[in-house]
Structure 1
Amino acid sequence: MNFHTLRSLIKKGQISPVYYFFGKEKYLAEILSEEIIKNKISYEERDYSVFKFELEETGWEEIVNILSTSSFFSKSKVVIVKTNFSSRKKRGETYKDIVLLKNYLISPSQSSYLVVIDEERKEELFKIFSSSPHCTIFFLYPLKPDEIQSLIEERIIERGKKISPSAMAILLEEAQEDLSLSLNDLEKILTYIGDKDRIDREDIENLVTYSGRFRIDSLIKAMDERDKFLAFRILKDILENFEPVFIVGTIASVYCRRYNNLLGEEYQTRERRNINEGEKEKLLYAFDKRMKRNEFILKIIFDTDIKIKSNPFNKGIVEEMIAKIIEGEGSLGNEGV
C-alpha cells in the first residue's frame, strides 16, 4: 500500500483502531495522523480528545489507560505516541508496561485510535504491533517526485487554486530537500495570494517569508518535536535574514501566548461540573505537565533575552537557547498551537 492509497482510505473513514508508522519521513505520519483526527474529532473537541506523548517520558500504563477510558467530551479520541529515545533514559525503563500494551492490542477500544510513530523501527515494538490483526503497519518511505507533486496539487485544489508549471518546479525542488518545509511554505503562499486563483513563480519569489526563509513557526514546531537537526537547519536560514534579538523576541511571544492559553484552559477545567472527579484529575494532571514544561522554556527564553540585549548580534546565544529547550526535561504534550 502506498501513501496516497492509505491517506485516501483514512479520508473515506476506513480507519484502523491502531496504526504503527515507522521510517524517517516523519512528516508523512503527521499528514496521516491529521487525517485521522479530522475524520474522528471535531475542531472544537481537539483540546480534550487528542493526546500526544513521547514514549521516553510516558509509560504504556498511562497511554493504555487513556485509550481505554471513555471520553466525556466526544465520541472518539486519538492518541499519538512518538518513540523518541534519548541517552538520558534506558530503553528498558520505558517498556516496563509492555504487557499492558499487548493486552490492549488484543481487543482495542472501538472509540479510541492509537497512532505510534517509530522513526527507528525498534524491533520489540515492531513485533508487538505486527502481531496484532487490528493494527495497520506502514513504512514512511521517501515519496517519489510524482507522489510529491500529487500531494502539492491536492493541497492547491482543496483551496480552489491552480499553479503554474514554473511555480510548481520551485516547490518540487524544495520538496526534494524537505517535504515538510515545502508544504508549510505552500500554506503561506496560498494565504499570500489571497483571492488570486493561481500561484505564479512571481508570487513565490516576492513572498518575504519564502525568499527570506523566515520560518520561526517551523522552528518552534521542530523544537516542540525535539528534532534538533531540523531545528538548527531552520535556524541557520532564519539567522541569515534576521537579527538574533528579533528571533528571541518572536519565540518568547509564542510561548507567552501558550502559557496564557494554558492558564485559561486549566481554570475552565477546574470550573467544569459536567465531568467526574477522576476525569477532571487526569486532565489537570496533563495540564500540570504542560505548564511545567512551558515554565521551563520561558525561563530559558527570559535568561536568553537578558544576554541578547547586551550582545544583540551574537548568534551563538540563540543557538544555545534552542539547544537547551530541545534537550530540556518535560513534555509540551497536547498544545494545539
Structure 2
Amino acid sequence: MKAQGSFAVSVFSGIVYKEQKGVDCKVDAKAAAKAVKQGEVSPVYLLYGSEKYQMNEFLSFLEAQLVSKEDRDFALIHMDLGESPIQAVVEEAETVPFMVPRKLIIVRDASLFTAGKESAKVEHRPETLLTYLDAPAEYSVIVFLVPQEKLDERKKIVKAVKKSGTALAFTPLGGEDLLKWIEKQAAKEECRFESGAAEMLVRNAGTGLQTLAGEVDKLCLFAGRGGVITGAVVHQLVARSTEQSVFALVEDIANLRLNQALSIFYELLKQREEPIKIAALITRQFRIILQVKTLSRQSYSQQQIASQLGLHPYAVKIAGEQARKFQAARLESILNELGELDYKMKSGAMDKVLGLELFLLRLGA
C-alpha cells in the first residue's frame, strides 16, 4: 500500500457533525479532510463507529497533515482513558509543547462518550474537558477514538465536543460502495478487477476493510502493474473463513447447486470444523434471511435493516437476494428442522456428520 501521507480522502464514509447557532449540521467526511488541508483544524476530534480501518486511516491522515515526520517523537502523545483520567488529557493539552509547534494527543478507550460503563480504576472529572473546550489551546489537537457505533447524546461532554470540535462517524460501507472501494484500492496499485471478481473477493474474505485491503495488495502483486484480477485468481489466492464458507454453502443451496454445497461441506470437515458449529452457522444465516425478508416486507431500507439487525449492509444485500428464493413459510420450516437437528446432534440421537449431510440433501432436493 502507499504511504499514509498520500492517503486519499475518498476512503472516508463518515459524517461530521458541527453545531452552528444551536443547530446540528451534517457535513460529509471529505469536507472535514478538505478543511484540515486548508488549515481549518478543530481543537478536538471525536472519531467513533464500528469501521476501525477507516478510523485509523483518518487518524493517519491527521498525523500526516498536522505533524512533520521529524517532530513526531515530541509531537505525538498517546493516552488511554482506561489508565489515565480525562483531567490528565486536559493537562497535557494545556502544557506548552517542547521543541515542536503543535501537539497531537491521541486518546483511546474513550468510554466517557458512550452509554457503557466507565473504568472503575480511574476517576474521571468530565467537567475539566468542558472548561477546556471554552478556551482550547491553539497548540494542541485532541483526538478521541471511540470504537462504538453510537455516542451517548444525553451527556454534556458529547454535546460540548460537537459544539466546539468535530464528531465523525465511521460506519460500514454499503454494498455498492464497498465494491467501489475495493476497485479504488486496486487502482491505487495500478491493477483492476474483472467484472464480478470484486464481489467474489467479498464473498471469500468478508467485509472487513483491513482484511480486504491486505487481500487487494496480494492480488495486485500477483497480477502485476496493469494486470487484471480475475475470478479464478481470487478463488485460487483468497481462502475463505468458516463463516464465509457457510455463507457460500447457503448461497449454493439457494441457487439449487447441491453438488457445490456438499463440496463446501466436505471441505469444512477436512479442515476439522465441528459439525455442530457448521449447523449453528447455517442456522444463523437462514435466520438472517428470514429476518431480512420480514423487514423488507415492512418497507425497511437496506441500511435500516442493517442497523436493526447489527449486520453489514453488504450482508443484508446478499441475504435479501437469497430471501427472494424462499417463501417465508419454507424458511420457518428450515429453521425448525435445524432446531431438531441441533437437539439430535447434541443428545447423541444422530451421528453429527450424517445428520447434517442428510439435512443438506433434503434441503437441496
Paired residue secondary structure (2:217): helix
* Aligned-pair CA distance for 1:92: 5.6
Counterpart contact for 2:49–2:147, Cα < 8 Å: yes
1:155 aligns to what? 185
Change (3 A) 1:135 1:90: closer
SS at match of 1:110: coil
Identify if the C-alpha distance between structure 1 residues 21 and 72 changes in structure 2 by more than 3 Å, giving closer, same or farther: same
1:161-200 mapped onto 2 (5 Å cutoff): 161-173=191-203, 177-200=207-230
1:3 is the counterpart of 2:14: yes
Q: Is the 8 A contact 1:130 1:137 kept in 2?
A: no
Are the equivalent residues in 1 in contact too, given 2:189–2:217 (CA < 8 A)? Answer: no
1:116 matched to 2:144? The reply is yes
Correspondence list, 1:287-302, <5 A: none
Per-residue deviation at 1:103? 2.0
3-state DSSP class of the match of 1:168? Answer: helix
Q: Does the CA contact (< 8 Å) of 1:11 and 1:36 recur in 2?
A: no
How far apart are the structure 1 equivalents of 2:14 and 2:190?
23
Which residue identity lines up with residue 33 of structure 2 in the other structure?
I
Which amino acid in 2 is paired with 1:96?
H
Please show how residues 137-148 of structure 1 align to structure 2 within 5 Å.
137-148=167-178
Instruction: Point out the structure with the larger helix share.
Output: 1
Secondary structure in structure 1 of the residue aligned to 2:78: strand
Separation of aligned partners in 1, 2:191 and 2:106: 32
Find 2:50's aligned residue among 24, 28, 52. Answer: 24
Q: Which amino acid aligns with 2:88?
A: E
Distance in 2 (CA, whole Å) between partners of 1:125 and 1:33 is 26
Alignment correspondent of 1:67: 93
- CA drift of 1:6 comes to 0.4
Aligned residue for 1:127? Answer: 156
SS at 1:27 equivalent: helix
The unaligned stretches of length 5 or more in structure 2 are 1-11, 16-27, 112-116, 242-270, 273-365
Kindly tell me: are residues 15 and 154 of structure 1, through their superposed partners in 2, closer, same or farther at Cα, counting changes over 3 Å?
farther
Q: Is the 8 A contact 2:110 2:144 kept in 1?
A: no
Name the CA distance, whole Å, in 1 between partners of 2:88 and 2:32. Answer: 29
Once the two structures are superposed, what CA deviation does each residue of 1:82-115 show, in whole Å capped at 9, x if it has no partner? 2266xxx963653523232222222223333222
Provide the rounded CA distance (Å) in 1 between the counterparts of 2:195 and 2:74.
Answer: 42
Counterparts in 2 of 1:191 and 1:116: CA distance versus 1, 3 Å: farther
Contact 1:21–1:29 (CA under 8 A) maintained in structure 2:
yes
Give the Å deviation of 1:128: 0.8
- Give the root-mean-square deviation of aligned CA atoms: 3.6
Corresponding residue SS for 2:126: helix
Letter in 1 for 2:126: I
Quote how far apart the aligned CAs of 1:56 are.
0.7
Q: Distance in 2 between matches of 1:186 and 1:27?
A: 15
Contact 1:78 1:115 in 2 (8 A): yes
1:167-246 pair list within 5 angstroms: 167-173=197-203, 177-207=207-237, 210-211=238-239
SS at match of 1:128: helix
Q: In structure 2, the residue corresponding to 1:151 is in which secondary structure?
A: helix
Aligned 8 A contact 2:48 2:145 in 1: yes
Question: 1: distance between equivalents of 2:143 and 2:133?
Answer: 12
1:126 CA drift (Å): 4.9
Quote the Cα distance in structure 2 between the aligned partners of 1:174 and 1:112.
43
Question: For structure 1, which runs of at least 5 residues remain unmatched after alignment?
Answer: 214-239, 242-337
Q: Is the 8 A contact 2:190 2:225 kept in 1?
A: no
What amino acid sits opposite 2:176 in the alignment? D
CA distance in 2: counterparts of 1:83 and 1:75, whole angstroms: 27
The one-letter amino acid of 2:57's match is: I
Structure 2 residue 128 is the aligned partner of structure 1 residue 100: yes
Q: Does 1:40 align with 2:80?
A: no
TM-score, with normalisation over the residues of structure 2?
0.48
Looking at structure 1, the residues matched to 83 and 58 of structure 2 have their Cα atoms a distance apart, in angstroms, of: 24
Q: Relative to 1, partners in 2 of residues 1:154 and 1:177: Cα closer, same or farther, differing over 3 Å? A: closer
Q: Secondary structure in 2 aligned to 1:71?
A: coil
**Residues 147 and 92 of structure 1: is their aligned pair in 2 closer, same or farther, counting only changes over 3 Å?**
same
On the 8 A contact 2:86/2:129 being kept in 1, the answer is: yes
Give, in angstroms, the shift of residue 130 of structure 1. 2.0
Match of 2:75 among 33, 46, 49: 49
Q: CA deviation at 1:158?
A: 3.0
Q: 1:83 to 1:160 in 2, by over 3 A?
A: same
- The aligned residue for residue 58 of structure 1 is 84
Give percent identity, aligned residues only: 21
Aligned partner of residue 79 in structure 1, secondary structure: strand
